[in-house]
Amino acid sequence: MNPLVYLNSQARDGIVSLAALAAAVERFGLSWAEAELLALENGLLPARYQRNRKMLSTAEQLRLARSRVAVIGCGGLGGYVLEELARLGVGRLVAVDPDVFEEHNLNRQLLATPALLGAAKVEAAVARLREVNPAVTVQPQQKAFSVANGAALLAGCALAVDALDSIPVRLELGAVCAGLEIPLVHGAIAGWYGQVTTQFPGDTTLADSYARSGTGIEKELGNPSFTPALVASLEAAEVCKVLLGRGTPLRRRTLVIDLLEMEFVERLD
Amino acid sequence: MKITVKLFASFRDGRFKEEVRDTPAGTLCRRIVLELGLKEEELGVVMVNGRHAPLEQELRDGDHLALFPLVGGG
């Protein structure tokens, strides 16, 4: 019996369970990614995605599984972005961050736990996502993003997610994405405040927000638990839409968020 | 002429949320920023009537100028 015949024999109403996929992995020596792709390519939906089913078709789920996305920064924003993209079913993730966990990360960074203090953030991302969704391949890159290594880090990626904590590096990321002609989903946070936009090649939205070289108010305000979770979720929604070509992304629009006054303001380019 | 200035986030501390100001015709955004005691390098998103505006932009009667501080964390 070949793996597809096996998966078909195990499927119920077009859905194939985790146990059936695990058996296919075991019996036929497939990777989890190969098993899920085989299912999706043949119109079978892994059961873990069944609550995506009313909003995403099986073909769209396959498209996500075949997509590669780079998440630049694996701290406050990046931890949640990686988690959400892995649960969504984005098949290949590149996690970029030079840092290790420190105690002051514990108030907000999803991947940070006391046991992981001193551990590399990108390695924590690999371990976490293997637990969450073994069909997702995570490529850890424990390095600082720059224009020098940016094109190599983003090679083959459909888009990049800005989860950085540095304005100058953000602008470098914007430049690299423009050079590669891929979209950039931007998020930034400070205390109760945040902003999100999606910059497509040729747009200048990010540069307009950072036209003056200064220090962000996060240096003074810090960041709580909920602001990164919110902004990261908005970024993940943008990633989903851009990968699938659905809906209306925040293109040439920047959403500015004030959670203290609960105000959401939009700026057009 | 009259313009409306809206401040956001930490810019409101010790200032206001929204204020109508009398200002000479042809006033640049930059002048309002300086009058408010804000430094250019503190500014993030700046918009006039909901659109991105450089500080050199001339304000017109009835304009709404909105100023946000620089947000850069992740």
Say whether residue B39 is in contact with chain A using an 8 A CB cutoff: yes
- Model confidence pLDDT, tens digit, residues B27-60: 999 999 999 999 999 999 999 999 999 999 999 9
pLDDT value of position A252: 97
Q: Report the C-alpha gap between A55 and A41 in whole angstroms.
A: 18
For chain B positions 49-68, those within 8 Å of chain A (CB to CB) are 50-52, 54, 66, 68
The pLDDT, as a whole number, for residue A9 is: 97
State how far residue A165 is from chain B, nearest Cα, in angstroms. Answer: 4
CATH topology for B2-69 is Ubiquitin-like (UB roll) (3.10.20)
| Residue A213 confidence (pLDDT) above 80 | no
| Chain A CB contacts of B45 below 8 Å | 195, 208-209, 254, 256, 267
Q: Give the pLDDT confidence score for residue A171 in this predicted structure.
A: 96
pLDDT of the residue at A53? 84
Phi, psi of A195 (to 5 degrees): -150, 150
pLDDT tens for each residue of A102-150 = 999 999 999 999 999 999 999 999 999 999 999 999 999 999 999 999 9
Judge whether A95 and A82 are in contact, CB under 8 Å: yes
| Complete DSSP assignment for chain A | --HHHHHHHH-BTTEE-HHHHHHHHHHH---HHHHHHHHHHTTPEEGGGGGGTTTS-HHHHHHHHT-EEEEE--SHHHHHHHHHHHHHT--EEEEE---BB-GGGTTT-TT--GGGBTSBHHHHHHHHHHHH-TTSEEEEE-S---HHHHHHHTTT-SEEEE--S-HHHHHHHHHHHHHHT--EEEEEEETTEEEEEEEPTT--HHHHHT-S----THHHH---SHHHHHHHHHHHHHHHHHHHT-S---BTEEEEEETTTTEEEEEE-
**Does an H or E element contain B35, and which?**
helix B29-35
CA pair distance A57, A245, nearest whole angstrom: 13
Separation between Cα atoms, residue A191 and residue A123, nearest integer Å: 27
> What is the predicted pLDDT for the residue at A214?
85
Taking residues A142-169, report their average pLDDT: 98
pLDDT attached to residue A68: 98
Residues of A in contact with B9 (CB under 8 A): 190-193, 217, 258, 260
Q: Where are the domains of chain B?
A: 2-69
Cα-flanking dihedrals φ and ψ of residue A160, to 5°? -120, 150
pTM of the entire predicted model: 0.97
- Quote the mean pLDDT of chain A: 97
Report pLDDT for A54: 85
- Please give the residue of chain B at the shortest CA–CA distance from A97: B74
The answer to whether residue B47 neighbours chain A at the CB level (below 8 Å) is: yes
Nearest residue to A77 (alpha-carbon basis) of A164, A184, A177: A164
pLDDT for position A212: 86
Q: Retrieve residue A108's tokens.
A: 């907000």
Residues of A in contact with B73 (CB under 8 A): 76, 165, 188-190, 216, 218, 223
Beta carbons of A195 and B50 less than 8 Å apart: no
Task: State which residue of chain A sits closest to B8, comparing Cα positions.
Answer: A258
pLDDT at A215: 87
Task: Choose among A166, A217, A265: nearest Cβ to B71.
Answer: A217
Of A192, A217, A254, the CB nearest to B70: A217
Query: At a CB cut-off of 8 Å and minimum separation 6, what does A176 contact?
Result: A147, A150, A151, A154, A160
pLDDT score at A136: 98
